[in-house]
Structure 1
Amino acid sequence: MNNKIKKKIWINAGEASGDMHGALLAENLVKNDPDIEVMGMGGPAMEKAGCDIRYPMSMISLMGVTEVLPKLPRLLRLFGEIEKIWKKEKPAAVVLIDCPDFNFRLAKKAKRLGIPVYYYISPQVWAWRQGRTKFLHKTVRKILCILPFEKQFYNERGVDADYVGHPLLDLIPVEELDKISPHKNQLGILPGSRSKEISSLMPIFSEVARKLKDDHPELKFVIARAPGVDVKKITSSWPDNLDLEIVEPENRYEMMRSSSFLLAASGTATLESALIGTPTVIAYKMSAITGSLAKKFLKVKYVSLCNLILNREVLPELLQDNCTVKKIHAQAEEWVAQPEKTKKTRTDLKIMREKVGSPGAASRAAKIIMQDLKISE
C-alpha cells in the first residue's frame, strides 16, 4: 500500500447530527495531517469541512422498517457503488457514524476488503438489540464512545472501546449561552429533521400552542428549522391566526437557551437542549409496526440520553400512545403556570452536563484513529 492510499479516510454519516460530528472529525484528522484526504457520505457541514462528498446523506435519511422497504432496491445499488469505490481507492480506514441499519452493512463490506473500521457515535445497542455487539466485535476495530457508560458496556462484551467525550460540547458554545437569560414567555419548538417526524409531531405541537395561547396570550412561539428542512413543511399545520417566528439552523442554540422551555422531537436535539440547560418536553411518534418492535426490544427505562445519564426522568418523555395533545399540553401548562418547576429542572441539567465531561471529543477521536493506523508520526 503506497503512501498516498494510506492518507485516504472514508467517513459515513446519514443524518444532520452525524454530519456535524463528521465535519469536526474530518477537520481534526486533517489538522493532525494536512495530507489526509477525507471522503465519504455526509451533508453540508462535512462538505464545508473539506470532505469529498461522494454521496449525499439524504439518500439514506430513513426511519423504521416500513419506511425502508420501498427504497430497498436503491439502497442495495448504493452499497454496491460504495464497495466499488473502496476497491478502487483503498481507503486506510472507514469511520462510521451512527445509522446502524445502513452502516452495519458497510462495516461488513469493509471488513471483507480488509479495511479497518472505526465506529464513532456508536449505535445504541445497549438500549436494544444487544446481540449486535457480537457483530461489532467481529467487524469493528475500535468503538469511540461518546457516553460515559458505553465504554464499560462494550468492554464487558469483548469489544475494544475508548471514551472520547460527547462531540456536542465541541459544537455548543455553552459558556456564551449561559450568559443568556431565558424569556419567561417564549416557548421553543424543535419538530425534528426528518419528514416523518415533522408530519407526525407538528400537528400536535401546533394544537398545543393554540391551546396555550388561548389561556396565556402573552406567550410567543419560536421554531428552529433543522438543516435542509423546508419552512412550508414545518408550518403547514400551524394556525393562521397564531404568530410564529422561524429561526435558522445556525441560530438554534440561542433560541433554545432563551426559551422558557421546549417541545422537541426525541433525538439529538433533546441532548442539545439538556446541555444548554433548557427544560424540554420530549415527544415522538413512529409507525405502529416500528413502535411495537421498539417497545418489545427496548432494554432501557428512558429514551432520552439526559434521563439515561442521570438515571431518572428529569425531562418528561411522551412517546407513541402518550404523544397526544392532551398530555403534552398538560405538561406545558404546568411549566407555564408554575415556572419554579423549570428552575429545578435547570439545576438537574447542570448536573448532567458535568457528568458528560469536557469538550474535545472529535480531537481525541482523530488522534486515536491516527495512532491506531500509525498515520501520524
Structure 2
Amino acid sequence: MHIFISTGEVSGDLQGSLLVEALFRQARRLNIDLKITALGGDRMAAAGATLLGNTTRIGSIGLVESLPYIIPTLKVQHQAKQYLKQNPPDKIILIDYVGPNISIGNFVRRNLPNIPIFYYIAPQAWVWSFNDRNTKAIARITDRILAIFPEEARYFADYGIDVNYVGHPLVAKMASSPNKLTARDQLGLNREQTIVTLLPASRRQELKYLLPDIIGAAKILQQQIPNLKFLVPVALPNYRMAIERAVNEAGLNAILIDDPNETSLAIAAADLAIAKSGTVNLEIALLDVPQVVLYKIHPLTAWIAKWIIRFSIPFMSAVNLMLMRRIVPELWQDEASAEGIAKEAFALLMPGDRRDQMFADYAEVRAAMGDGTACDVAAQDILTSTLKSQLPRKEVLSLNA
C-alpha cells in the first residue's frame, strides 16, 4: 500500500511523525507492506516517510506574513502534484496546512478522482473562519475527516462530511514524559530553583513579533524573582542565532535547548511556561505546567482583520478550544507586551487560586482528549478503510487545479 501525506510547519511535522509511526505499527500488525511519501519535515522522515519536500520552514499565518513563502510553497506544490500524477498512491492524508492542502486536494479530485482523501487534523475553520469558503472546499475534497477536537467533529459533521472523532494524538506522546523532578535531574537542573520555560517561535514571524516581548517579560521576571532560570527550546536550528542574541543582550540566566526531543523535558521541568499559540499549549497542559499563551501578527494584518474583515474568534489556544472555555490566559497583539506577559506570568508563579484552578481545568482537558489511542485508531481507519471517493463526476470536473 502506498500512502501520500501532506503537511507543513513544525507542528504538522510533529503530528505527521506520530501518525507515520502508528501507520507502520498497524501495517506490521495487519501484514501490510507499506510505503509512505510525504511533504513534511525531519521528524516524519525519521519516522519512516520518504520526503518529497521539507515544508517546516515555509509556513506562516497572516496576509503580509505569507508573502515571502508564496514562491517556495508553489514550487513544493508543483513537485508534489507532478509526483502524484506519475505515482498515484492508494490513499492520501492531508494534515492541517489549509491553503496548500486544499490546492493538493483539488488537484487530486480533478486528476485522480478515485483516490480517497482523509483529512487528519482539519484546519480550524470551526474556530477562525469568517466565512465558510474553506469549509466548503474541505467538504468537496475530503472523503473522511479524522477529528482530534470534539468541536471539530461536530462542526464538520454538520456540513455532511463523514467524520470519525479519534481523540488527540498528544495524549500518548506525553504519557511517557517524566515529572518535574525527574526532568530537572535529566537536564542537570537544581530541583529547588524557580524555572520558567520560554517557547517563542516555531514560525519565523514569531521570532519577529513575539520574541522581543517574551525576552522583555523574562527580564522583568528576573528582576523580581531571585535565582530565576529560563529554559528556551529552539524549534528550528536556524532560529538559534536570533534567540541566543536576544537572550544574551537581555542578560538572562537561560539555557537554550537545541535537541527537539528535549523540549518536553524543558516543559516538564518548569514551574511556568510562556508560549506562542500552537500545539505546544496542549503539551504544556498535559504536563501540568501553568502557562501564558501569546499571539501576535503583523500590525497591518491585525488592522485588516479587525476593521475590514471584522474577524473574531472565541479562543486561539488549543487548550481553551478543547473545552471551548477560558482555561489559560491568552494575550493577543498589543496585550502581548513585555509588561502584560510579566504580569500574567508572575500571578501564575505564585501559589493561589489561579494556579489551583488551572490544574483542575487541565484534568478536564486531559479527560476530553481521549485515552491515548488516537494515532492507532486513525491509522487503523486509514489502512483498513475500503472507501472510494464518492465525489460526483460533474463536481470533480468543476474543481480548479
DSSP-derived class of the 2:385 partner? helix
User: Matched residues, percent identical?
Assistant: 29
Rounded Cα–Cα distance in structure 2 between residues aligned with 1:20 and 1:175: 16
1:350 partner amino acid:
A
One-letter identity of the residue aligned with 1:119: Y
Aligned counterparts of 2:69 and 2:268: Cα–Cα separation in 1 = 38
Shift of 1:184: 6.2
Summarize the alignment of residues 289-300 of structure 1 with structure 2, pairs less than 5 Å apart: 289-295=300-306, 296=309, 298=311, 300=313
Larger RCO (CA under 8 A, 6+ residues apart): 2
Per-residue deviation, residues 287-342 of structure 1 (Å, max 9, x unmatched): 12332455446553111121122333221101112111121111122233445532
Instruction: Indicate the residue corresponding to 1:195 in structure 2.
Output: 204
| SS class of match (2:198) | strand
CA contact (8 A) 1:9 1:95 kept: yes
Shift of 1:364: 0.9
Amino acid of the residue matched to residue 261 of structure 1? L
When the two structures are aligned, how many residues end up with a matched partner? 369
SS state of the match for residue 373, structure 1?
Answer: coil
Structure 1 273/47 Cα, relative in aligned 2: closer, same or farther at 3 Å?
same
Residues 306 and 42 of structure 1: CA distance in aligned 2, closer, same or farther (over 3 Å) = same
User: Matched residues in 2 for 1:226 and 1:339: separation?
Assistant: 32
Aligned to 2:262: 251
Matches within 5 A, 1:87-236: 87-113=85-111, 114=113, 115-129=115-129, 130-131=131-132, 132-173=134-175, 176-177=178-179, 185-236=194-245
1:354 and 1:179 map into 2 onto residues whose CA distance is 24
Distance change >3 Å, CA 139–CA 249, structure 1 → 2:
same
1:180 CA drift (Å): 5.2
Residue 29 (str. 1) matches residue 23 (str. 2): yes
Residues in 2 aligned to 1:313 and 1:253: alpha-carbon distance in whole angstroms: 24
Q: Distance between the aligned counterparts of 1:202 and 1:225, measured in 2?
A: 12
One-letter identity of the residue aligned with 2:154: Q
**Offset, 1:165:** 0.8
For the 8 Å contact 1:127–1:299, the answer to whether it is kept is no
| 1:256-267 matched pairs, under 5 angstroms | 256-267=267-278
Amino acid at match of 1:23: S
Q: Which runs of 5+ in 2 are unaligned?
A: 184-190, 389-401
Q: Tell me how far 1:82 sits from its aligned partner.
A: 1.6
Separation of aligned partners in 1, 2:148 and 2:304: 26
Paired with 1:281 and 1:349, the residues of 2 have a C-alpha distance of: 14
RMSD, matched Cα: 2.3
Unaligned runs of 5+ in 1: 1-6
How far residue 60 of structure 1 moved from its aligned partner, in angstroms, is: 3.0
CA–CA distance in structure 1, aligned partners of residues 337 and 310 of structure 2: 23
Preserved CA contact (<8 Å) 1:12 1:95: yes
**What amino acid does structure 2 have at the position aligned with 1:249?**
P
By how many angstroms is 1:232 displaced?
A: 1.4
Please tell me the residue identity of whatever aligns with 1:56: N
Q: Distance in 2 between matches of 1:258 and 1:178?
A: 4
Measured in 1, the distance between the counterparts of 2:251 and 2:73 equals 43
TM-score (norm 1): 0.90
Alignment partner for residue 329 of structure 1, among 333, 336, 342? 342
